[in-house]
Amino acid sequence: EVQLVQSGEEVKKPGESLKIPCEGSGYNFTTYWIGWVRQMPGKGLEWMGIIYPGDSDTRYSPSFKGQVTISADKSINTAYLQWSSLKASDTAMYYCARQGGPTIFFDSWGQGTLVTVSS
């Protein structure tokens, strides 16, 4: 069974850094792209970017480029989403999701990590 497991809620202060994981299991982690999706409170889905763990090829949405860093460690089947300096506006649920094939669709999703940034 394909599974993506994310960490629990994170509560941080503005200006702090954060790196949240997404661990894949049940499939060959290195051969599927992993994407990150933001959902702000009460809002819709926003695609942030995607990484190919096999060679760490990474693509960012123009809206998020320079704001976050996506990385992966294929030795432990884990992708990451990272901030160097959080803002209150980063408060949201963050999902990782596996791209299911050569076309753009996400066939398996993590349970989400809720990030709350507040002073």
Partner 1 sequence: QSVLTQPPSVSAAPGQKVTISCSGGSSNIGNNYVSWYQQLPGTAPKLLIYDNNKRPSGIPDRFSGSKSGTSATLGITGLQTGDEADYYCGTWDSSLSTVVFGGGTRLTVL
Q: Does 8 bind partner 1 (CB under 8 A)?
A: no
DSSP, collapsed to helix, strand or coil, labels residue 48 as strand
Q: For partner 1, give the closer residue by CB, 8 or 75.
A: 8
Given 7, 58, 61, 71, the residue binding partner 1 (CB under 8 A): 61
In the range 85-104, which residues lie near partner 1 by CB under 8 A?
Answer: 95, 97, 100-101, 103-104
Window of 11-19, 37-45, 66-74, 78-86 that interacts with partner 1 by CB under 8 A = 37-45
Are 92 and 115 contacting, i.e. CB atoms less than 8 angstroms apart? yes
The Cα–Cα gap between 45 and 43 comes to 7
Query: What contacts 26, CB < 8 A, 6 or more positions away?
Result: 1, 2, 3
